[in-house]
Amino acid sequence: MSSGIDVAIIGVGLVGSAVIAQLSSVSPLSSLHVIALQNSKKTLLAEPGQRLALGANGEWKESLASSPVDALSLDELVNKLHEIQAQNKRHIAVVDNTSDDGVASFYPLFVQAGFSVATPNKKAFSGSLDLYSHILHSAMQPEVLAKGPLVYQESTVGAGLPIISTLEDLVITGDKVKKIEGVLSGTMSYIFNEFSPPGGSTRKFSDIVTVARANGYTEPNPGDDLSGSDVARKLTILSRLIPELVNALPDGFTSVDTQSLTPAGLRDEKDADTYVKRLPEFDAEFDELRAKAQANNAVLRYVGVIDVENKVIKAGLESYPADHAFATSLGGSDNIISFTTQRYSNRPLLVQGAGAGADVTAMGVVADLVRIAQRRG
């Protein structure tokens, strides 16, 4: 791999814990030294010249909780990381495992400080073009900054599935992307794989959402999934990697043509329990959509579509023939993404698999750290 890098981790929830578990248990990763951990309450910093002792059984959790240092501001954290770097003389990568806008808005400052960023947090890349350009301009001017900081974001779309890297490889080798189409939300995938399987179903939409919520497959408020904004964010991230569409969404995901599945009568319902309790009032609407699809031997899927030639970027419910890969091949909360390009023109390049979950999300983040270490370690 390389002589290694130092890693500062912000956010130690499910994904952050899985990142730490991979870094502390996989021996080829031993040259990636964790030197800082931070959650909303505490910061734990390694002594200069040292790395944090994480322990094989999550002992870092106790060390962090009992740290004498209250959570630093991000400005203070940058200063501390500089102090450590002055001693260690190693490249530093910051891992943001939060879904926080505040941390995301700080990436330009991390990068200006010379630190790389690896993150599953979609916020910085799917918000305003302004922030995005700011990060790009700080990090990715290749000829100027041949040894400068890097920004990696594989897990923002499809978790550990090779989606961002595949799109980047297509583009940099000169392929022309024509269309990207996919089931990009694990929650939406689960709901419609259950509601509209290839063989048809009579289950109620509200029942499926209720079960999904009980199993933790949805956000605490399922309305946050049904809004489609998660898919719109992922489409924004992908579209900005396509040269023709870099500037297509100045305001980010809010500019994506997004169909919300929250019924009109529930748009103002902010209380999650009430939202779920009232959802059966609208089952007939969903039944009707499904009946129409079934009558055409088709299924319903909530998909994201990027049509490059027509500059259409949209998220919404579409129907697919019952023998289409989106109907037959999907199960569970699988993501699937299809790239149609000049080279993959008659038959698309497909990537499919679990698109959510702490371990697979962490895998994408850790693989990004490996690439940073290979290039900057």
Active-site positions read: 234
The single residue among 136, 162, 197, 282 that binds a second copy, judged by CB under 8 A, is 162
86 vs 146 by CB, closer to a second copy: 146
Q: How far is the CB of 91 from a second copy (least distance, A)?
A: 12
The single residue among 6, 181, 230, 334 that binds a second copy, judged by CB under 8 A, is 334
98 annotated ligand-binding residue: yes
23 phi/psi in degrees, rounded to 5? -65, -30
d(CA 65, CA 55): 14
Residues with Cβ within 8 Å of 173's Cβ and at least 6 positions away in sequence, in order, are: none
Q: How far is the CB of 321 from a second copy (least distance, A)?
A: 11
DSSP 47: P
Query: Considering all CA atoms of the chain, what is the largest pairwise distance in Å, rounded to the nearest integer?
Result: 69
Question: Euclidean distance between the first and final Cα of the chain, in Å?
Answer: 8
78 vs 298 by CB, closer to a second copy: 298
Q: How far is CA 90 from CA 52, 61, 110, 190, 268, in A?
A: 15, 25, 15, 43, 51
154 vs 269 by CB, closer to a second copy: 154
Secondary element (H or E) of residue 33: strand 32-38
The single residue among 71, 136, 246, 367 that binds a second copy, judged by CB under 8 A, is 367
Provide the token pair at 55: 């322990």
- Residue found by looking up tokens 């489609």 in the block: 228
328 annotated ligand-binding residue: no
Give me the amino acid identity at 153: Q
7 annotated ligand-binding residue: no
d(CA 258, CA 277): 24
329 near a second copy, rule: CB under 8 A: yes
19 vs 77 by CB, closer to a second copy: 19
344 near a second copy, rule: CB under 8 A: yes
350 near a second copy, rule: CB under 8 A: yes
Residues with Cβ within 8 Å of 350's Cβ and at least 6 positions away in sequence, in order, are: 325, 336, 337, 338, 339
What residues from 39 to 68 belong to the interface with a second copy (CB under 8 A)?
Answer: none
Binding mask 111-150 for a second copy (x = CB under 8 A): -------------------------------xx--x----
E strand intervals along 225-371: 257-258, 298-307, 312-321, 334-341, 349-354
16 vs 316 by CB, closer to a second copy: 16
Q: How far is the CB of 97 from a second copy (least distance, A)?
A: 15
Chain CA centroid to CA 273, Å:
27
What residues from 166 to 225 belong to the interface with a second copy (CB under 8 A)?
Answer: 166, 169-170, 172-175
d(CA 276, CA 226): 12
Annotated binding site for NADP(+): 11-16
Residue ranges of the annotated binding site for NADPH are 98, 122
Site residues for a second copy per CB under 8 A: 1-3, 22, 25-26, 28-29, 31, 142-143, 146, 160-162, 165-166, 169-170, 172-175, 323, 325, 328-329, 331-332, 334, 339, 343-344, 346-354, 357, 359-360, 362-363, 366-367, 370, 374-375, 377
